[in-house]
Structure 1
Amino acid sequence: MNLSSHLIQRKLKLSPPLTRDLVVERDLRVPMPDGAELLADRWAPKAGGEALPVALIRTPYGRSGLFGTAMARPLAERGYQVLIQSTRGGFGSGGVFDPMRQEREDGLATLDWLIKQPWSGGSIVLVGLSYLGYAQWAVADRLPPEVKAMIPQVTESALTLEFLRQDGFSLETPFGWGVLTAVQERPWAMLRQPAQARRTRRALHTLPLDQADVAAVGHRSDYIQGILAHDADDPHWAGFDHRHRVAEVTVPVSSIGGWYDIFLPGQLRDFRILQEAGRPARLTIGPWTHLDMNDTAIREAVEFGLAHARGEEPPHRAPVRLFVTGEEAWRDFESWPPSGGKPQRFHLRPGGALSTEPPGEAASDGYRYDPADPTPAVGGVRMVPDSGRVDNKDLEARADVLTYTTDVLDQDVEVIGEVSAEIWFRSSLPHADVFVRLCDVDPRGRSYNVCDGLTSLSGADETTRATIGLWPTAHRFKRGHRIRVQVSSGAFPRYARNPGTGEPHATATTLRAADQTVHHGPERPSAVILPVRAAE
């Protein structure tokens, strides 16, 4: 066990622990009001563990392996005792797993049980990433006084719903998560991961999509069927959305996210709600994807969480700490988005140019989008190994991707905040998607993605102004670099391919190619809108 402790310390670049001598009590039974029992493991130092604050982790992914070793162990070695609980219906816990719907009632019952345990120590900190962070938001407005802080990481209070927007269906992430939860308890699941990943990738090409779950896991999945059939506003998802609880949180919150994380917009929304409600909160956003591992969460649990658990103030820092990509440096601010940014339009112009100067003449560019050979997702906001910031050379060489690029910058351009685009667009079909990506082109000509977004249109066979919300960012385009905007009609399989027919995603079987036109000019000023700040 000490070997794993040393490996985790090295991998996460952690400071040395207070102790490596731990005891683990396994399979504690936590009763729920309906009679189900959820299993939990308690990690604590062998000496003096009963007096320590409790870090509570509620997870659907099991209590051993990554979550036990890489989460519970480093916290238990650094001042906590840790209760890691398997959520309902998984890894020995009773009941049936019904994703996202059960975490409020079960979480409140777990807290009620925990504060009554003789070893509970009198203070609790809620920690965890992704679904584990969502489980925190599910109970955030009814925390007992023993809970002293929350540390949600790469997560948000309305998990899944951002993927299911009617104007932009993100297929890959919720489908992949549905597959993961369907197969994770099969024998030798970890060893079978590479083969399963290949099977899942193939399944995403299935037509109709409502047969893809069988192709991926061998049987129907209620969750996958749900994401294919019901958009974010459908009553089917009642109970998933905990946004209304965020402003009612009374404990300090330290929120940790990444610029290439799948939940970033919702996480920033939650933080703004906290700030506007006057709640004690701070935000840290690094250059990370959803799957990146680093020391930030453990460090916050120790510096921020333990301080509040002991009735102390954590070390002072600004409410917002952002890693500014391009500059490759951490910067502190008072709010999100930071003050001082001014929206500046970078106009699409003839010849693939991009400029702050308004276009002087009407022009257009065209391409053909074929969903049978869809424009691929390259890097960006995904839960796959090649996500994040990548070279876009091969993507930009495709005939179905337009690019618009500034002249070489004669000074730095700093962009921090919400990014959007307005693209005047027409398709030969009524139904089409518009995908916009912002890139930084270095002096060697390599184009690296900064942020992007997609919107789906109906009535696209009439010229229309498409408004696209891109991912938020904090990026500095350095002097000598160029700013580039890509326009295309997809990023598959991150987003479901638009079949062009208007058929529902779940049942569409016909794929129709379309001729797409992007207009730019004085009457149709297509542009990306960047929140530009005076470079410091």
Structure 2
Amino acid sequence: MNLSSHLVQRMLKLSPPATRDLVIQRDLQVPMPDGVDLLADRWAPRVEGATLPTALIRSPYGRAGVLSLGMARPLAERGFQVLIQSTRGGFGSGGIFDPMRQEREDGLATLEWVVKQPWFGGSIVLVGLSYLGYVQWAVADHLPPEVKAMIPHMTESALTLEFLRKNGMSLETPFAWGALIATMERRWAIFGRPIQDGRTRRALQTLPLGRADVAAVGHRTDYIQDILAHDTDDPRWAGIDHRHRVADVTVPVSSIGGWYDIFLPGQLRDFQILQAAGRPARLTIGPWTHTSFNNTAMNEAIEFGLAHTRGEQPPQRPPVRLFVMGEDAWRDVDSWPPSGYAAQRFHLWPDGALSTEPPGESAPDQYRYDPADPTPAVGGVRMLADSGRVDNRALEARADVLTYTTAVLDQDVEVIGEVNAEIWFRSSQSHADVFVRLCDVDPRGRSYNVCDGLTSLSGADETSCATVELWPTAYRFKRGHRIRVQVSSGAFPRYTRNPGTGEPRATATTLRAADQAVYRDPTHPSAVILPVRQTH
């Protein structure tokens, strides 16, 4: 075990531990009000008479592997005792796992149990990423006084709901997660996951999509059927949305996210709610994807979390710390979005140009989108492989992708904040998607994605302005580079392909190709709107 401790310390570039001599209590039974027992492991330094704060981690992914060696052990070596609990219905815990629906009741009962234990040291910090961060928000407005801080990482208070927008379903992430949780307790699952990922990718091409879960995991799964059949506002999702709890959180919150993370918009929303309510909160956003492995959350648990358990203030810093990509430097600001950035329109022009000047009269640009050969997802905001910042040249060479590019920049252009696009659009089908991506083109012609977004249209056979919300970003386009905007009608399988028929996504079987037109003239001034740093 000490070898793994040394390896994790080296990989995460952590400070040396106070001790590597730990004691582990396994399979502690935590009773729930309905009689179900949830199992937990306790990791603690082997120190007689010590009263240490508890780092609580609640997980649907088991209590071994990365969670034990990459989270529990390093935290226990550096000042915490750590309790990792398997959530209901998995890895020995009783009951049935119904994703996200039982985390409030079970989380509150777990906290009540912890403070009554003879080993409890008087204070608790909630830590964890993704689902492990979501369970923090589920109880955040009703915490016992023993909880001193929250450190939600790569997560948000509504989790699945952003993916299920009626005007743009993000398919790949919730489907792949549903396939993962349906198979993770199979023998040797950890070794078979690359194969499973391949099955998942192939399953996403299934028609109708309602049969894709069987193709991916061998049987129907309730969660996958739910995401295919129920949009964000459907009553089926009642009870999993904890956005209304955020303003009532009273403990300090340190939220950590990534520019290419699947939960970024919701995480920024949660932080803005905390700031507006005057709550003690800080935010760190790095150049990371959802699966990036780095030491930020661990260091924050030690620096921020331990300080609050002792009634101390962590080292002072402004509320928001952002990594500005392109400049590759950290920037401290007071709020999100930061002040000093004004909306500037970059208009689509003829011949693939992009300009801050309004466009002149010209015919629309056209392309053909075929859902049988959908425009592929390349890099960007994805949970699986091929995420983050990648070269887009092969994608941009496709006939179903339009590009608009500025002249070579004669000075740096810094963009920090919310990014939007207004695309005047018409399709030969009544249902169509508009995907917009912002890219940085370097002097060698390599085009790297910065942020993107998609919206789905009904009545697309009439000319209308499609408003597309792209992912927020912090990016400096350097002098000598160019800014590029892509316009297409999909990014499959990240987003479900639009069949053009308006059929429900779970049962659609007919795929209709569409002729798309993008307008860019004085009456239809298509543009991407960037928050650009003001200079005086």
| TM-score, length of structure 1 as denominator length | 0.99
Cα drift, residue 292 of structure 1: 0.3
What residue in structure 1 maps to residue 500 of structure 2? Answer: 500
TM alignment of 1:151-162, pairs within 5 A = 151-162=151-162
SS for the counterpart of 2:439 is strand
Partner of 2:268: 268
Q: Which amino acid aligns with 2:99?
A: P
The equivalent residue for 1:528 is: 528
Alignment of 1:132-281 (within 5 A): 132-281=132-281
**Structure-1 residue corresponding to 2:357:** 357
Corresponding residue for residue 366 of structure 1: 366
Q: Distance in 2 between matches of 1:363 and 1:413?
A: 30
Aligned-pair CA distance for 1:48 = 4.5
Deviations 1:312-366 (A, max 9, x none): 0000001000000000000000000001110000000000000000112233100
Partner of 1:381: 381
Q: Could you tell me how far apart the structure 1 residues matched to 2:327 and 2:367 are?
A: 34
Alpha-carbon distance in 2 for matches of 1:236, 1:535: 49
1:38-437 pair list within 5 angstroms: 38-48=38-48, 50-437=50-437
Task: From the superposition, tell whether residues 48 and 124 of structure 1 become closer, same or farther in structure 2 (CA, over 3 Å).
Answer: farther
Asked if structure 1 preserves the Cα contact closer than 8 Å seen for 2:426 and 2:462, the reply is yes
Q: Name the SS of the counterpart of 2:190 in structure 1.
A: coil
Alpha-carbon distance, 1:535 to partner:
6.4
Considering only aligned residues, what root-mean-square deviation do their CA atoms show, in Å?
Answer: 0.8
Cα contact 2:342–2:534 (8 A) shared by 1: no
CA offset digits 1:407-441 (Å, max 9, x no partner): 00000000000000000000000000000000000
**Equivalent pair of 1:49/1:81 in contact (CA under 8 Å):** no
Q: Distance in 2 between the 1:358 and 1:48 partners?
A: 73
Equivalent position SS for 1:190:
helix
Q: CA deviation at 1:534?
A: 3.1
Residue identity opposite 1:253 in structure 2:
V
Which residue in 2 is equivalent to 1:453?
A: 453
Alpha-carbon offset, residue 256 of structure 1: 0.0
Aligned partner letter, 1:299: N
**Secondary structure of the corresponding residue to residue 273 of structure 2:** helix
CA–CA separation in structure 2 for the residues paired with 1:374 and 1:79: 51
Aligned-partner SS, 2:191: coil
Distance 1:164 1:428 in 2: 25
Range 12-21 or range 274-283, more displaced: 12-21
Question: 1:360, 1:163 → 2: CA distance?
Answer: 37
Contact 2:173 2:494 in 1 (8 A): yes
Once the two structures are superposed, residues 130-157 of structure 1 have per-residue CA deviations (whole angstroms, 9 ceiling, x without a partner) of 0000000000000000000000000000
CA-CA distance at 1:221 after TM superposition: 0.3
Q: Structure 1: state its 5+ residue gaps.
A: none
Give the match's secondary structure for 1:453. Answer: strand
Q: Distance in 2 between matches of 1:371 and 1:259?
A: 29
1:331 alignment partner AA: R
Alpha-carbon contact 1:362-1:523 (below 8 Å) kept: no
Bigger Cα displacement from structure 2, 206-215 vs 15-24: 15-24
Q: Which amino acid in 1 is paired with 2:448?
A: Y
Question: What are the within-5 Å matches in structure 2 for residues 483-498 of structure 1?
Answer: 483-498=483-498
Question: What is aligned with 2:442?
Answer: 442
Q: How does 1:505-524 map to 2 (within 5 A)?
A: 505-524=505-524
Contact 2:258-2:285 within 8 A present in 1 as well = yes
Q: Distance in 2 between matches of 1:186 and 1:471?
A: 36
Three-state SS of the structure 1 residue aligned to 2:471 is coil
Deviation at 1:385, TM superposition (A): 2.2
Q: Secondary structure at the match of 2:188?
A: coil
Q: Which amino acid aligns with 1:413?
A: V
Gaps of 5+ in 2: none
| 8 Å contact kept, 1:413–1:535 | no
SS of structure 2 residue aligned to 1:191 = helix
For 1:60 and 1:384, locate their aligned partners in 2 and report how far apart those are by CA, in whole Å.
18
Distance 2:49 2:330 in 1: 36
Partners of 1:30 and 1:516 in 2: how far apart?
A: 57
Letter of the aligned partner of 1:403 in structure 2?
Answer: T
Q: How many pairs does the alignment contain? A: 536
The aligned amino acid for 1:179 is A
SS where residue 321 of structure 1 aligns?
strand
Q: Which deviations, in whole Å up to 9, do the C-alpha atoms of 1:145-200 show, x marking residues without a partner? A: 00000000000000100000000000000000000000000000011111111111
Distance 1:12-1:535 versus aligned 2 partners, 3 A rule: farther
Q: Deviations over 1:92-127 (max 9, x none)?
A: 000000000000000000000000111110000000
Amino acid at match of 2:150: M
Measured in 1, the distance between the counterparts of 2:45 and 2:395 equals 51
* Partner-residue secondary structure (3-state), 1:136: helix
Give the whole-Å Cα distance in 1 for the aligned partners of 2:192 and 2:301. 33
Say if 1:412 and 1:535, in contact at 8 Å, map to a contact too.
Answer: no
* Contact kept? 2:368, 2:514, Cα under 8 Å: yes
Cα distance in structure 2, aligned partners of 1:423 and 1:285:
29
Please state how far the C-alpha of 1:49 moved relative to its aligned partner: 7.3
**DSSP 3-state at the match of 2:517:** strand
Q: CA deviation digits over 1:219-251, x for unaligned, max 9?
A: 110000000000000000001100000000000
Percent identical among aligned pairs is: 80
Question: How far 1:17 moved relative to its partner?
Answer: 1.1
Report the CA distance shift for 1:190/1:334 in structure 2 as closer, same or farther (over 3 A): same
Secondary structure, aligned partner of 1:33: coil
Q: Which shows bigger deviation, 166-175 or 49-58?
A: 49-58
Q: Letter of the 1:487 partner, please give it.
A: V
Residues 250-302 of structure 1: CA deviation (Å, up to 9, x unaligned)? 00000000000000000000000000000000000000000001000000001
Amino acid at match of 2:306: L
Change beyond 3 A, Cα 1:295–1:240:
same
The letter of the residue matching 2:307 is: A
